Chains A and B, each alone.
Chain A
């Protein structure tokens, strides 16, 4: 009986006060993408643009007929002294409460990134709603332009970008940068940040065949990467240069390289690289570290643009040599660009030395790494084995030409 009275008392006490954290799903606006720029009016202010999904646009099951033109997303911008301020500003006129949990991408304008990226990283790692696997990107344009534009085939641009990022692995043109990686490199004592670069491209997309000309819309694409030193952005690596890095920094890049045909260097052969593994070895040569980047992978011949009379073995071994050469060149040029132009260790060389030569690093190298890094020797060793020609037993033949 005593228990009963106690529990009834408790419930009556809690009932009127309860439900503090309750918010209905139809009352919240799910942010799909967010862009952060410096305000054009006052450089001290942040200009925040959010793309909020409009559930009514994205299709309800019970609603019956709905207007076709209703937008899938709702875009709003506001400025503020801090990012948080700006977002509160948006809350003043948005009918729904902003929720970050489903955010897909954070786009940072170049002008802000060149000044200092700390506020962005801090705000988004500080926010419990945001998950760490959100993509982060830098754009040379205004971030708000990216947020406003269309992407891919999805209904909601923010979600479509996620897919673009996810399939970036297929092209290998760059390293996907999510908040986790960025935050890791930001807070690490040795590493520096690399973030994907997003631009708009006037790609032809035929969204509807009826009026093709009107459907040439600007599409968001990933191209290259932004290199940071500490908290500031220094510049960009182009898409091809980014691939040079992804050969040894990426997680099993799966990219296609075009090689000159061994018999006719004008025509090309496409080789798809799979299970690429890389290892960075460091040696100390009188206090000066030297690095060897060992890359190994298997190639699959996926396209031959000209028929040939080579045997498969000859063809493969010729291509192996060419592929090794090309990958090595790509890596070398990217590494040297990072070393000489940006002088920022985004290559994990510092960490490698730290792990492999702990004593020397902690005593000495650590303190002069900024000066040492641009000078270190890098050797690239590539080992490609082409072990599949995808369906074909012999290289493409054309007996008419031969006879």
Chain B
């Protein structure tokens, strides 16, 4: 790569062919420029990554048709770069002498213009590839609120955020990760709001990444996480620009990776996984209520099947007598102990869940019918499993879907198994042991240096307004301290004057 651009069009072309190849999509377009005394030129680009019409109308046409500037060049001796810049009808023109930069530009979807006898090249930004248009979010559906979602392209994604925050401090810090994929990453934050320490920490962690490929944003997430072996997601992934924007305004940092419609938000605390944008779009009382419902759902998801095992196999005294008799009657002749039964059902449920995700839409219904009818009803009717267990397992499964974050929901569903195992071994002691073990672990985690379980523990007073509660906007005068924002005031004092 040390080789300089010779200015000899042939040589340069040869060089490019050896570097980036001469494949189906790589195009070498030769032309003569009349304005430069029919000097020959070469445009290199990749088909499919550039906007062909723009290439034709804004680049090739001005170059091939004699123009006024061409005449003036001869008279006033305008330099070649100036000539190019003023002749072409295109916004991004960048002269370059560096082969690496040029090659990168070509593979990222720019056209590069070489002119004979000139030791350099012009990178012309006329990217334009087929991409998905902005559509409704699919994995985080909300009834209220904006309906747009991030797409695979970096540029429209940045625009989606910029459109929402017109603060001058909004920064998109560019970064390129992955030796081979050379994925563009944007580090988004608000200057003067986001805590510098956190930002520096994130930058150092990103800087340490040495990897060949970044396929999706979660690769980065895993590479910069705090406790790498932990099961809990410690950064929030979202496809909703409103969620990302809100995070930015709380002083958190958003990472956008090219080719991923999910952005990563860090630092994220545990409670963020229980919050959903709807909390803010509806009245605060409803928002608060839903948060508690989700907390309950999380508890149910972890422990409903364990609770069944606890109550039917260990601590029958806790059941009301009539319920105990009912369950006992239903369990007559059931071959396995409740614990094994529960394990079988839970595993089956996970299998069905996984199958449901993969199946084509048309088949999904069949599976759900087979799942509910065959596995559920038939097994109960045949006396293979107790009906109460089916209720317990189903409750747990449904509860796990009430958790807004898909990543957290999966984690919680997986955690049922150790809790169930431990409960089956030691009854209430096993259950509590598992719960303590898990919560203790949760408490000890950190996300980008921020305690994961804050602001509950360690306790901070002000952020409570937006953790398990959703205070009315008039009360949330400050940003949550958990992210230590530089500018903590949301609503400057003397409120109530003219709001």
C-alpha gap A53/B332 in the complex (Å): 14
Segment from B259-267, B364-372, B419-427 that makes contact with A:
B419-427
Q: Does A14 contact B (CB under 8 A)?
A: yes
Residue of A21, A24, A30, A55 ringed by the most chain B CB atoms within 10 A: A24
Q: Are B332 and A56 in contact (CB under 8 A)?
A: yes
Q: Are A55 and B338 in contact (CB under 8 A)?
A: no
Q: Does A59 contact B (CB under 8 A)?
A: yes
Output the least CB separation between B232 and chain A (Å): 16
Q: A18-B425, A18-B426, A19-B425 are in contact. Are A25 and B317 (CB under 8 A)?
A: no
Output the least CB separation between B393 and chain A (Å): 16
Q: Does A60 contact B (CB under 8 A)?
A: yes
Q: Are B330 and A23 in contact (CB under 8 A)?
A: no
Q: Are B325 and A53 in contact (CB under 8 A)?
A: yes
Q: Are B329 and A58 in contact (CB under 8 A)?
A: yes
Q: Are A21 and B328 in contact (CB under 8 A)?
A: no
Q: Are B332 and A18 in contact (CB under 8 A)?
A: no
Q: Are B314 and A21 in contact (CB under 8 A)?
A: yes
Q: Does B207 contact A (CB under 8 A)?
A: no
Q: A24-B312, A25-B313 are in contact. Are A59 and B326 (CB under 8 A)?
A: yes
C-alpha gap A125/B332 in the complex (Å): 31
Q: Does A363 contact B (CB under 8 A)?
A: no
Output the least CB separation between A307 and chain B (Å): 47
Segment from B53-61, B158-166, B348-356, B379-387 that makes contact with A:
B379-387
Q: Are A129 and B325 in contact (CB under 8 A)?
A: no
C-alpha gap A26/B316 in the complex (Å): 10
Q: A14-B425, A18-B424 are in contact. Are A62 and B381 (CB under 8 A)?
A: yes
Q: A19 is contacted by which of B321, B334, B424 (Cβ under 8 Å)?
A: B424
Q: A22-B314, A24-B338, A101-B316 are in contact. Are A30 and B330 (CB under 8 A)?
A: no
Which residues of chain B are near A208, meaning CB under 8 Å?
A: none
Which residues of chain B are near A58, meaning CB under 8 Å?
A: 325-326, 329
Which residues of chain A are near B291, meaning CB under 8 Å?
A: none
C-alpha gap A101/B329 in the complex (Å): 17
Which residues of chain B are near A22, meaning CB under 8 Å?
A: 313-314, 337, 339, 424, 427
Q: Does A265 contact B (CB under 8 A)?
A: no
Q: Does A268 contact B (CB under 8 A)?
A: no
C-alpha gap A99/B338 in the complex (Å): 18
Q: A56 is contacted by which of B316, B324, B329, B338 (Cβ under 8 Å)?
A: B329
Output the least CB separation between A113 and chain B (Å): 27
Q: Are A99 and B316 in contact (CB under 8 A)?
A: yes
Interface string of A45-84 (1 = CB under 8 A from B): 0000000010110111111000000000000000000000
C-alpha gap A141/B320 in the complex (Å): 31
Q: Are B321 and A62 in contact (CB under 8 A)?
A: no
Which residues of chain A are near B380, meaning CB under 8 Å?
A: 62
Q: A18-B424, A19-B424, A62-B387 are in contact. Are A24 and B337 (CB under 8 A)?
A: yes
11 inter-chain pairs at a CB distance below 8 angstroms, sorted by A residue, are: A11-B421, A24-B312, A24-B331, A24-B338, A25-B312, A55-B332, A58-B326, A62-B381, A62-B383, A102-B324, A129-B317
| Residue positions of B touching A, CB distance < 8 A | 312-314, 316-317, 321, 324-334, 337-339, 380-381, 383, 387, 421, 424-427
